[in-house]
Amino acid sequence: MTRQMTGAKMVVQALKDQGVDTVFGYPGGAVLPIYDEIFQQNDIRHILVRHEQGAVHAAEGYARSTGKVGVALVTSGPGATNAVTGLTDALLDSIPLVVLTGQVPTFMIGSDAFQEADTVGITRPCTKHNWLAKETDTLSETLHQAFHVARSGRPGPVLIDIPKDVQFASGTYTAPEKSDTSIYEPETKGDITAINELVEALEKAERPVFYTGGGVINSGPKASKLLRELVDATGIPITSTLMGLGAYPASGENWLGMLGMHGLYEANMAMHDCDLMINIGARFDDRITGLISAFSPGSTKVHIDIDPSSINKVIKADIPIVGDVESVLTDILKVWKARGRAVNREAIAKWQEQISDWRKVECLKYTQEGKTIKPQYALARLEALTKEHDRYITTEVGQHQMWAAQYLGFEDPNRWMTSGGLGTMGYGTPASIGVQVAHPDSLVINVAGEASWLMNMQEMGTAVQFRLPVKQFILNNERLGMVRQWQELLHGERYSHSWSEALPDFVKLAEAFGAKGIICSDPDDLDEAIMEMINYDGPVIFDCLVEKHENCFPMIPSGKPHNEMLLGEASTQGAIEAGGAVLV
Amino acid sequence: MAALKIKKGSTSHSAYNLRPNFSDEIETHTLAVLVDNEPGVLARVIGLFSGRGYNIESLTVAEVDHTGKLSRITIVTTGTPQVIEQIKAQLGRIVPVHDVHDLTVEGPAVERELALFKVTGSGDKRVEALRLADIFRANAVDSTLESFVFELTGAPEKIDAFAELMRPLGLVEVARTGVAALSRGAE
């Protein structure tokens, strides 16, 4: 069935047909026709943000916590350029987004018109794909293709730039099922020969480890289920990247904790000493590998990834498998079971013993004493008091983010939203709003540092307007903590511009927004204050004053291998050599 | 505290240098990339090369299938085997890219380039330029009393050689199309 309608109506119709229920956006001149259509319907909820960057991060939070495609709608020029950080963030973390931008009318493109920017040009390197919709007749098909590209293969953000005259003009609407999606059909099934090879290696391995990443979560809840089945049936220890937390439960007996620069001692040591590394949906990021020439020197490396360009990009894969995690895990389990469910139990038991010895180091140990709250203690209490809740956590970027990854436990996928690849300060507040919109009855907490939090604090207005009871849990050390830590370790303790003077009174700030403010500086009051935050029916800004000079450990210094971690009480003198200092 | 003992202006400490080299040999590869002829597709390909720090030695592009709206981009690039593999994988994931062929590894291929040379001069030099053009089977496509424009088609090395010979004979300008390449045989 073909239908005639305006381009603006097509946008709304296509969103409905794609199952979209929420759009995060901000109106402006070049998208007014679309906003007019949004006004005249009730199927799609529009959440008005306070800044376009907030719209994209909110859509990311929505997408990451639901597994659906997130949608943002912004105007031309500054609306589009403000969306760039969010697009880049989503690209690096493989979050499926469709971002719609208005554009000046086609006949004015190139004339430096008011609020004109070359949006498609600017966003080409920070989207998976983008389109300039020049004709109303093909607009609906482009919209459907955009959703297809965003969610297929390795997910990512896409953008459609829609000139205003295309929104006003009428054309023929094409339904999703009539749209040509053959333009993009990535391979999802892994090569069965390589899978057989992997199973053979797995049967013989003496010191195997699973190293999993965000790809498991992107693949869907079934992938996490299959992963749990495989890990528990084989008894092989498992670690995960920052992006993959929750795919395997933190309470699981084979769980090693997060790996990487601020990963757990036992996880990094297991990665270094293993003889078989099975990478599932992770990409050997530089935060994970440390010094590449000394990265897990004795292991056979299996790399399962849906994106062929991830394979051999950083680390040479001995057994590369290109495919979707769910499909590949299904095949691995099938082959492994058919071959008799064999693993080298004796050797793995010894390996587990070795790992228990590493655990005894207690790398996350800290001492809470005196009248100052240690950030680790704040997170440990937050964990204890919220873990029984239906809980979602977002974070900003920095020390607090790493502590949150270390001290909070995630039992399920899609419960942990953080900016991993791009490291975007200001991500957490809007992301928490996106998560809360998708899960109105759940407890959504943004673990923040005061510096990151200030970067998108305007979104508190969104939280109050839409009655989203997000909890902003700010570990306030009046410092840019991670910058300060690096300056201490690398730059002769010259703390160049890494402290915040003139911070706002967060309680008054909360009240100014119409939210609740809580301040806590005494460890003895912390539990009560956290309970007050949880029990308050509405958005809260929690100003948790913590130790100002705490460093985040363990830490693999830049340019060092996994087995040369700095631990909490260890001396940090000369920890990073000149070669490592230039790395970030 | 370790002092920063890095020479001023040094760039040799880039994180990229920490990568293992599967082989240090720099190879030259000719890639044929079949793409949808849509706006921006060339920018996507070129942006990939500049954004990720890959080299382009030569690049040609034109629509080769008007009904199917397909264009063929021929790129000559250099890099270690690992980098070449990355380039191909990265090209392959661009949505409007249909196919990436590495003509250097997929068997023998023919490579041709067209070039125009403007050579000015008089007397012996002019006669010598014309004589060498004849040997190289270059055509004079424009001539005045003080100048020639020669047209030459051939492998890039042949074009280079001709340019070297023309330089002392009054070469003032060269225009090259870049390489077009096809695999040999019926496939």
Please tell me whether residue A24 adopts helix, strand or coil conformation.
strand
User: What is the model's pLDDT at position A558?
Assistant: 82
pLDDT value at A570 more than 80: no
Q: Give pLDDT tens digits for A271-310.
A: 999 999 999 999 999 999 989 999 999 999 999 999 999 9
What is the pLDDT averaged over residues A393-405? 98
* Chain A to chain B Cβ contacts (< 8 Å): 81
Tokens of A65: 């916590």
User: What is the model's pLDDT at position A1?
Assistant: 53
Q: Which residues contact A363 (CB under 8 A, 6 or more apart)?
A: A264, A265, A266, A553, A554, A565, A567, A568
Q: Give pLDDT tens digits for A108-128.
A: 999 999 999 999 999 999 999
User: What is the model's pLDDT at position A579?
Assistant: 61
User: What is the model's pLDDT at position A198?
Assistant: 98
Nearest CA in chain B to A134: B39
The answer to whether the Cβ–Cβ distance between B13 and A582 falls below 8 Å is: yes
User: What is the model's pLDDT at position B9?
Assistant: 36
pLDDT value at A527 more than 60: yes
Q: Which residues contact A33 (CB under 8 A, 6 or more apart)?
A: A6, A7, A8, A164, A167, A168
What are the C-alpha distances in Å from A57 to residues A7, A95, A394?
26, 10, 11
Residue A578 binned pLDDT confidence (cut-offs 50, 70, 90): low
Q: Give pLDDT tens digits for A330-357.
A: 999 999 999 999 999 999 999 999 999 9
Q: Give pLDDT tens digits for B81-128.
A: 999 999 999 999 999 999 999 999 998 999 999 999 999 999 999 999
- Taking alpha carbons only, the member of A278, A290, A251, A276 closest to residue A351 is A276
User: What is the model's pLDDT at position A124?
Assistant: 97
Locus of tokens 């795919």? A247
In whole numbers, what is the pLDDT of chain A averaged over residues?
Answer: 96
Residue B73 binned pLDDT confidence (cut-offs 50, 70, 90): very high
Q: Give pLDDT tens digits for A191-217.
A: 999 999 999 999 999 999 999 999 999
Residue B23 binned pLDDT confidence (cut-offs 50, 70, 90): confident
pLDDT value at A245 more than 70: yes
Q: Give pLDDT tens digits for A175-187.
A: 999 999 988 999 9
The answer to whether the Cβ–Cβ distance between B2 and A308 falls below 8 Å is: no
Residue A559 binned pLDDT confidence (cut-offs 50, 70, 90): confident
The answer to whether the Cβ–Cβ distance between B1 and A492 falls below 8 Å is: yes
Tokens of A343: 């693993």
What is the pLDDT averaged over residues A531-537? 98
Report CA A67 to chain centroid distance, whole Å: 12
Residue A576 binned pLDDT confidence (cut-offs 50, 70, 90): low
- Distance from the Cα of A436 to chain B's closest Cα (Å) equals 33
Helix pair B81-92, B41-51: axis angle to 10 deg: 150
Q: In this structure, which topology does domain A375-545 adopt according to CATH? A: Rossmann fold (3.40.50)
| Annotated catalytic residue within A269, A457, A460, A482 | A482
| Annotated catalytic residue within A5, A68, A115, A352 | A115
Q: Angle at Cα A386 formed by Cα A381 and Cα A389, nearest 5°?
A: 170
| Annotated catalytic residue within A9, A128, A164, A560 | A164
Beta bridge partners of residue A45, listed in sequence order: A22
Catalytic residue list contains A482: yes
Residue A568 binned pLDDT confidence (cut-offs 50, 70, 90): confident
What is the pLDDT averaged over residues A538-543? 98
pLDDT value at B11 more than 90: no
Superfamily of domain A3-178: Thiamin diphosphate (ThDP)-binding fold, Pyr/PP domains (3.40.50.970)
Q: Which residues of B touch A (CB under 8 A)?
A: 1-6, 13-15, 18-20, 22, 36, 39-40, 43-44, 47, 51, 82, 85-86, 89-90, 92-96
What is the pLDDT averaged over residues A46-65? 98
- Distance from the Cα of A503 to chain B's closest Cα (Å) equals 31
Query: What does the domain layout of chain A look like in residue ranges?
Result: 3-178, 192-359, 375-545
Give the CATH number of domain A192-359; options: 3.40.30.10, 3.40.640.10, 3.40.50.300, 3.40.50.1220.
Answer: 3.40.50.1220
User: What is the model's pLDDT at position A320?
Assistant: 96
Tokens of A315: 């680390």
A192-359 and A375-545, same CATH topology: yes
pLDDT value at A422 more than 50: yes
pLDDT-above-90 percentage for chain A: 93
Q: Give pLDDT tens digits for A433-487.
A: 999 999 999 999 999 999 999 999 999 999 999 999 999 999 999 999 999 999 9
DSSP H/E element including A464: helix A460-465
User: What is the model's pLDDT at position A317?
Assistant: 95
Q: Is the peptide bond before A430 cis (omega within 30 degrees of 0)?
A: no
Residue A560 binned pLDDT confidence (cut-offs 50, 70, 90): confident
pLDDT-above-70 percentage for chain A: 97
DSSP letter at A7 equals H
The answer to whether the Cβ–Cβ distance between A307 and B92 falls below 8 Å is: no
The 10 Å CB-count burial string (b at 16+, else e) for A293-317 is ebbbeebbbbbbbbbbbbbbbbbeb
Q: Domains for chain B: give ranges and CATH numbers.
A: 24-102 (3.30.70.260), 109-183 (3.30.70.1150)
Give the whole-angstrom CA distance, residue B83 versus residue B60: 21
